A and B are shown apart, each in its own frame.
Chain A
């Protein structure tokens, strides 16, 4: 399975794919807009002087609803894919997932605490509830990841396999606590909890978007600086040390970036699986494992794939909406099985 595409061709293809995904995400929904109107309205919203007669409705829909939702999908997809690359590099396993270090389950636990805690206090004021939920999810992700990291460290050395096992144990523990909350929750709370666990870009707003956008840009700028170290790390930790890299520091940075990225993504859009697993894998099949290409290409592909999944989630049951986590799992799980079986053949 030699790489089949040149990096430049891949970047061009992914750029076009992402542009198409952005356009469809802005155009399609309960009220579908003509593509030309969508382009014009989007450009007008960006402040460009485009003639805009009769585009008031389009501008309203795009500006208020679809633009934040699209940007949210873009950021979530990109940051989940980047985190997936970081984890697969850290664990030197192409089947590793950003959830491995416990960040997803920690974030889910944080959110569950906020949802159930809020409900048991007789409901939080609407003004702060969404922020509290996001902040709590983010904090939950960071706390569990920090705990996993501490459990995996001894004498200043981090054992990746111990971290992996600690991540599995804490994920199970968090799952049990979430299960307990689910059992205790009343019907309305249960519904919120379930929807949140399935992930959704619904109800995106600029206020929910900004923190994630900042984190995504930060992670997206930082990780490529460590591309060479990630390449060396694939040889093995001591080999990377012998090539002059500060391996302990690189590992810390990778875990921190992942915790930050996945924590922020889960806080903004709930649990969305498989993007972080499948996207880097797919890109690696196309251009090979060099992280200098893999990182930016995965960010583009992750963003495009998530936007397409969201368009599907909006359209299949329109006017109702499918949680996007279901869509990504429905696509991702069979693909993952295909990869496993192909590897065995």
Chain B
């Protein structure tokens, strides 16, 4: 379980993140929303240990993040960055197979997991292709498969952090990607996902954190948080919130 207590991050003189208290529950999908520059990626960097917090601390299973050895931590915590800089002609399976580097499950099992993770990210048909020949959206799904493979098949105590996993995807794959994260959450993994699409967050997240200027503005279920007033306050956008006619979750429409 990943937990942040009174987390704050300073960059120069500027407080870019402050007052963050959250603990990700096993099996939940936790959405982070906020305008550009609100500190979403900074939060993810702080949670993954890439940024040293100026205050507070992050614990994984009750132990400070830094006290874990690399492979131990990698077996419990996987992170999907917003973009990848991979510039070498690996085959798709080799990229996904890197998710198995922290494990010693053997080649046969790893190949099974790679195939399953690719299928989960709806990228099974890309197997055998050269990574560099893929489109941006296809690459994004391959990296999703990579972090899924890192935690596969998923267990309680594991955490997955995703930074805008749908940013380059077509509408169908925005849904398949979030369905895949729901599926791995089902196995007990706690998932934190940064999203820009309010309706995707409304549909797939159990809890939502609304960030504004590095501080939490609202935290709760999509029904509680995705209301006209907080969205107006944070995004400066006038919205109508209705009920999804079939699914019942909030449906956000710009006015």
Contacts and interface: CB of A to CB of B under 8 A. Distances in A.
A234 B84 CA distance: 10
B86 A236 contact: yes
A92 to B, nearest CB: 7
Interface residues of B, number: 31
Interface string B64-75: 000001111111
Contacts of B79: 238-239, 242
A289 B89 contact: yes
A241 B68 CA distance: 12
A244 B101 contact: yes
Nearest to B161: A242
Interface residues of A, number: 24
B115 interface: no
Contacts of B94: 231, 288, 290
A213 to B, nearest CB: 31
Nearest to A288: B89
B78 interface: yes
A162 B27 CA distance: 42
Contact of B81 (A1, A228, A236): A236
B89 A284 contact: yes
A244 B74 contact: yes
Nearest to A294: B88
A92 B85 contact: yes
Given A242-B74, A245-B70, A2 B91 contact: yes
B70 A288 contact: no
- Please report whether the interface of chain B is mostly helix, strand, loop or mixed according to DSSP: mixed
Interface in B84-113: 84-91, 94-95, 98-99, 101-102
B98 A235 contact: yes
A289 B87 CA distance: 10
Contacts of B84: 235-236, 239
A232 B87 contact: no
B209 to A, nearest CB: 22
B81 A234 contact: no
A92 B87 contact: yes
A238 B73 contact: no
B150 interface: yes
A233 B230 CA distance: 41
A244 B71 contact: yes
A234 B78 CA distance: 17
A79 B94 CA distance: 27
B48 interface: yes
A244 B81 contact: no
B130 interface: yes
A2 B94 CA distance: 13
Contacts of A1: 89, 130, 132
Interface in B102-142: 102, 130, 132
A149 B111 CA distance: 39
A109 to B, nearest CB: 32
A244 to B, nearest CB: 3
A94 interface: yes
Contacts of A94: 87-88
Contacts, number: 77
B102 A243 contact: yes
B58 interface: no
B85 A236 contact: yes
Contacts of A289: 88-90
B50 interface: yes
A290 B93 CA distance: 12
Contact of B150 (A231, A234, A243, A245): A243
Nearest to B103: A244
Contacts of B189: none
A242 B101 contact: no
A239 B99 contact: no
A301 B144 CA distance: 36
A232 B98 contact: yes
Contact of B50 (A92, A234, A238, A246): A238
A93 interface: yes
B36 to A, nearest CB: 21
Interface centre among A234, A239, A243 (most CB of B within 10 A): A243
Given A94-B88, A235-B84, A236-B86, A243 B98 contact: yes
A289 B81 CA distance: 22
Contacts of A2: 89, 91, 130
27 contacts: A1-B130, A2-B89, A2-B91, A92-B85, A231-B98, A231-B101, A235-B84, A235-B85, A235-B86, A235-B95, A236-B81, A236-B84, A236-B86, A238-B48, A239-B81, A242-B48, A242-B77, A242-B78, A242-B79, A243-B74, A243-B98, A243-B102, A245-B70, A245-B101, A288-B91, A289-B88, A289-B89
Interface of B: 48-50, 69-75, 77-79, 81, 84-91, 94-95, 98-99, 101-102, 130, 132, 150
* The 9 residue pairs across chains A and B that have the minimum distance between CB atoms: A244-B74, A244-B70, A244-B71, A289-B88, A244-B102, A242-B79, A243-B101, A2-B130, A234-B88
Given A1-B89, A232-B101, A238-B50, 6 more contacts: A1-B130, A235-B84, A242-B78, A243-B102, A244-B74, A245-B70
